[in-house]
Amino acid sequence: QSVLTQPPSVSAAPGQKVTISCSGGSSNIGNNYVSWYQQLPGTAPKLLIYDNNKRPSGIPDRFSGSKSGTSATLGITGLQTGDEADYYCGTWDSSLSARVFGGGTKLTVL
């Protein structure tokens, strides 16, 4: 059971928009930065969003992040078949003194 809760799967059509939620508590999301990762099959995770809403160089602006209270959201617009992957949220948990990840969300582009 992950400390951070994500939906197991989401789906949308090419060109559409999708959001992935990440729910936590005051000891993690509520008081720490959130990051998001994309993992394509057979590859290492790739950083998409850090510090809640910042994009590393090279990440398209189709990807966005936001945080409100103890929840965070990853948004992806203009969906492409190449966006099919697993997506994970992550943050620090101050009570556990540990980094925590969500259980992951599988995105299907129909």
Partner 1 sequence: QLQLRESGPGLVKPSETLSLTCTVSGGSISSTNYYWGWIRQPPGKGLEWIGSIYYSGSTYYNPSLKSRVTISVDTSRNQFSLKLSSVTAADTAVYYCASPRPDSSSCYHYWGQGTLVTVSS
Contact flag: residue 47 with partner 1 (CB under 8 A): yes
61 token code pair? 């602006």
Give the per-residue contact string, 79-108, with partner 1 (x = CB under 8 A; - = no). -------x-x-xxx---xxxxxxxxx----
**Which residues, at least 6 apart from 44, have a Cβ–Cβ distance to it below 8 Å?**
none
18 token code pair? 């999708």
Kind plus residue range of the DSSP H or E element containing 88 = strand 85-93
Give the nearest distance from C-beta 39 to partner 1 in angstroms.
8
Q: Which of 17, 99 has the CB closer to partner 1?
A: 99
Closest CA to 4 of 107, 101, 104, 105: 101
Give the nearest distance from C-beta 86 to partner 1 in angstroms.
8
DSSP-derived letter for residue 8 is: S
From 9-17, 18-26, 27-35, 75-83, span contacting partner 1 (CB under 8 A): 27-35
Strand partners, 50: 54
Contact flag: residue 59 with partner 1 (CB under 8 A): no
Contacts to partner 1 by CB under 8 A = 2, 32-33, 35, 37, 44-47, 50-51, 54, 56, 86, 88, 90-92, 96-104
